[in-house]
Each structure stands twice: as structure tokens, then as C-alpha cells.
A and B are shown apart, each in its own frame.
Chain A
Amino acid sequence: MQTIYRWMEAVLPFDYIQYDFMKNALLAVLIITPLFGILGTMIVNNRMAFFSDALGHSALTGMAVGVIFGVTDAGLSMVIFAAVFALLLNKIRHSGIAANDTVISVFSSLSTALGLVILSRGGSFSKYSALLVGDILSITPAEILRLLIILAVTLLFWTFAFNKLHAISLNASLAKSKRIRVALIDNIFVVLIAVIVMLSIQWVGILIINALLILPAAASRNMAANMREYHLFSVLLSVFSGILGLILSFYLDMAAGPMIVVVASLLFFVTLLVRPLVKM
């Protein structure tokens, strides 16, 4: 870690980089933002914005479940709960019972409320309120390593399964006729979203995590003409807003996560404006 720190200090001659917490935060941003940029492409394609939002909210219940069962690592209970929750939501998404967004909304509210009810017992919710906004400046090297591993897993999954995922998203029956394992791939995808959301939620916060997943991909769609451009723009926009947001937050002394989202939102509007110029 010290080597990386020294290297960062050498490459980046700015005064914010002299603090270790800023180095850690920058590293985390450099891992989280491309990850979200990649994942967001398919979340937006599948119109799953609502779905991923519900997953974010399940973090509260996940943590509450952990408290009840006395799990020391809150991250673990959150990941497990979110994975199960994701599989359940996915089943509902495909079952066609009731309107999708209504059912997802019910589950989302329920898991939020349930989490709040349990965590606020004895008036102790303030302990957990960091979960709502997140604090990327408090991330530790061990946690950065965790994120790095999940980034590697995602890249692996994307390389081997993206075509199938894309095929399923366009038409599941057609994918099935091409002998693609529709249910398996789809379920791995939602569990992956769940794991990533849970591992990053402490740093990004429940309130804004979905914006970070959706915005870069949504902005990229305004300019991209094919899947390669879609991914490239999405990752670039995501990383750019991450770095700029972090630096701005340092100099303006404001929360980092929300600042990143503000930058990403502005970028979205810019792409909306240039869209007619790019796409004729």
C-alpha cells in the first residue's frame, strides 16, 4: 500500500493527495466508478433502474438482520440478504403478476421500513445513519481490496457472459432458442448487482447509489451508436465524474458522494444537449 501511496504522490502533484484518506478515496473511486459505469449499461437497457434502487434500500434490512443474528461483519449479512432479495425480486419481475413497478415498490418500501424499525429500536438509529449518505473518505485499504476483487469478478463475468446477457435482454425466447441459459445468466446478473451495491453502499450511501449506477449509462446513450461506444462513454463519464466530484468536495469541503452525483447529473444534461449534434 505504501508503494501505491508514494507512486500516487509522485504522479499527482496536488495538495489534496498528501492525505492518506484522500489517496484511499481516490483509489476507491477509481474502482467503483468504472464498475458502476459497466454495470449501469445493462441496468438501463433492461429498464431495471427501479429494481436496483430497491436493492439499495434492502441494505437497511440486511444490516438489521445482521444485528438480530449477531453477525459481527455487517457487510456479510447485507450481501447475503441482498442476494436473496435480488433473486426474489427477479422472480417477481418475470412472473407477470401485478404491475412490475408497483410490486417492486412495495418490496422496496417494506425492506426500508423493516430495516428502520429494527435498527431504531432503543433510539439508536443515528449509529447507522452514515449508511444513508455514505462516506468514501473513511474507506480502508482492506476494503479497497474487496472492491478490487469484485471489479475483477465483474470484468470476468462481463467478458464471458455479456453477449448472452445482451441477447436475453433483447428477447429471452430468442435467446432460449439459441440455447442460452436464460434463467442462470439473468440470476447471476442480479446477484452481482446486489453484491456490488452492498459492498459500495457504505461509501456511496443508500440515497444516491442508484444515481451513480444509472447516470453514466443514461448519459452515454445520448451519444453512443453501438455497444462498444456505450461502454466506453459510460465508463469514461463515470470515472470523470468520480474524480472531479471527489476533488471538488475536498476543496469546497462538501460530502464527496453527493458531489460526484451532481457532476454526473450535469454531464447527463450536457450529453442531452449535444445529442442532436452526435445523432443525426
Chain B
Amino acid sequence: MNEEAVKRKYRILQPPCGLHCIKMNDIGVTIGRETIIEHVNLHIHCGKLTVIIGRNGAGKSTLIKAVLGEVRHTGTIEFRDMRDKSIQDLRVGYVPQHLNFGKDTPTSVYDMFASYVSNVPVFLRRTKALRERIRQSLSMFEAQELMDKQLGDLSGGELQRVLLSIACDPVPNLLLLDEPVSGIDRNGMELFYGNINALKKKCDLAMILVSHDLAYVEKYADNVILLDRTVRKEGSPAQVFSSREFHEVFG
């Protein structure tokens, strides 16, 4: 195993230290004349699953896009090591809701994975080392058997596991997840939440999940943020779900 692989493995086995903090200060996004979100202030700690809830159009995905750097935003996002207060480079991982490909697109899981993590051109050759790396990453989510399958042949749950593996190679400091909405049955959802719960314990990272299913939020979230243009309410699932603001939004 080369040095890089060892390092990665080490990182994977590193449990959350709880001492990294991602701080969002006064985040605002205005597109055209419309203010989508404003004055969003958040503290996210590693080892915690923070779930964003809110009605449609509340700005949940916009906030994710702002953190990803896809839309221009005001305010700052900083990533701090609480031990020495140093500001560090924030590595963001992202699990999208869906991918753009036709049913017959000849992309194997290997092709897709390699395209995101390697420069060895996938149309030209594949290397043993890269295959091994991908197999290891996929095996974190029991997806190693899928390596040579075509994307179009995967079930919703299988694709989700592949996407999680890609987002976690290398393990990011902050993982952003868009909860899958379609193509996944109840079993698949349990597995999805089970996986991110395991990830939280195994790896040193913070997670933000945009969710549409409040039942799972209650069960798995450490911290819930009720977003409606700005942060309306923040706290444990029980605190948020019993709040006046929650009832105003979800009525």
C-alpha cells in the first residue's frame, strides 16, 4: 500500500475529535432582486449530524450551494481548529440528489469514481492501484461489488452508496448531503441513515443534511435547523419540533 493510501486509511479510522468547528457568519444569497437567504449564522461541529428542515423554497438547497461555492454569497465561512484557534482549509464533500445520465450511458461505477478522484484518463486505461483504492472506498459502504456495473443498472440505494463513497474519498471536513427523494424505498432510507450514522462515528467530519422526511430527522439528527430564509429555530430535534416556529412553518 502506498503512503497516500495509508494516510487515507488513517484518516478513515480517526474518530471525530469534536474540536473542529465550521462557522458560518451572516450568510446571505441574493439572486437578481430576490433575497433567497439572509443572516444565516451557524456553528457546525465535527462528529455531529446537523439536519436542515424547512418548507419548499425556504432556501435549503441555496444554503448548500453557497457552502459549495456555486452561488455567490455574502458573509464568511471559516473552518477552525479549536485547539489552537487556527483557521484551516475547509474540504467539502457533497452527495447530490441525482446524477445526469441517460439509462444507456456507458459509465461504469469505476469510470465515475475515477473521474472524480483521479487524473488517469478513464477512456484510456485503468490501473491496479486505482482499482484497489476505489474498491477500498466503496467497501466503506458495502458497495465494492458494484465497481463494474453500469450506472443505469444501479438501484437508487446502490447509487446512493456509491455517491457516499465518492464524497468520502478523501474524507472531507464537512459532508453536505441532499437526502434522496426518489427511487429509494423504506429499507433503502434506513440503510442510508444507518450509513451516515456509522460514518459519523468512524470519521472525523461534520455533516449537514437537507431532509424532507421528518420521521428520520427525529431519529437520527443531533442538531436540527429550521430554515425559512433565515434560521428560525435551532436545537435538538425535540426542541425544534415542539417550538412555536416549527408549528408556524409546518402548521
Contact = CB atoms under 8 A, between A and B. Distances in A.
Interface string A220-233: 11101111111100
B92 interface: yes
Contact of B105 (A164, A172, A221): A221
A174 B96 contact: yes
A177 interface: yes
A163 B119 CA distance: 6
Nearest to B163: A174
Contact of B115 (A159, A166, A173, A225): A166
Interface residues of A, number: 33
Nearest to B101: A170
A163 B68 contact: no
A170 B105 CA distance: 10
A227 B123 contact: yes
B182 to A, nearest CB: 16
B210 to A, nearest CB: 13
Interface string A132-168: 0000000000000000000000000011101110110
Contacts of B172: 177
A172 B104 CA distance: 20
B197 interface: no
Nearest to A38: B123
Interface in B79-98: 92-94, 96, 98
Q: How large is the interface on B (under 10, 10 to 19, 20 to 34, 35 or more residues)?
A: 35 or more
B122 A166 contact: yes
Contacts of B166: 174
Interface string A224-247: 111111110000000000000000
A162 B122 contact: yes
A45 B105 contact: yes
Nearest to A46: B100
Contact of A174 (B94, B126, B148): B94
Interface string A160-197: 10111011011111111110100000000000000000
Contacts of A41: 123
A224 B96 contact: no
Nearest to A231: B123
B248 interface: no
A159 B124 contact: yes
Contacts of A231: 123
Given A173-B94, A226-B111, 4 more contacts: A163-B114, A167-B116, A169-B101, A174-B166
Interface of B: 65, 68-70, 92-94, 96, 98-102, 104-108, 110-112, 114-126, 148, 150, 163, 166-167, 172, 176
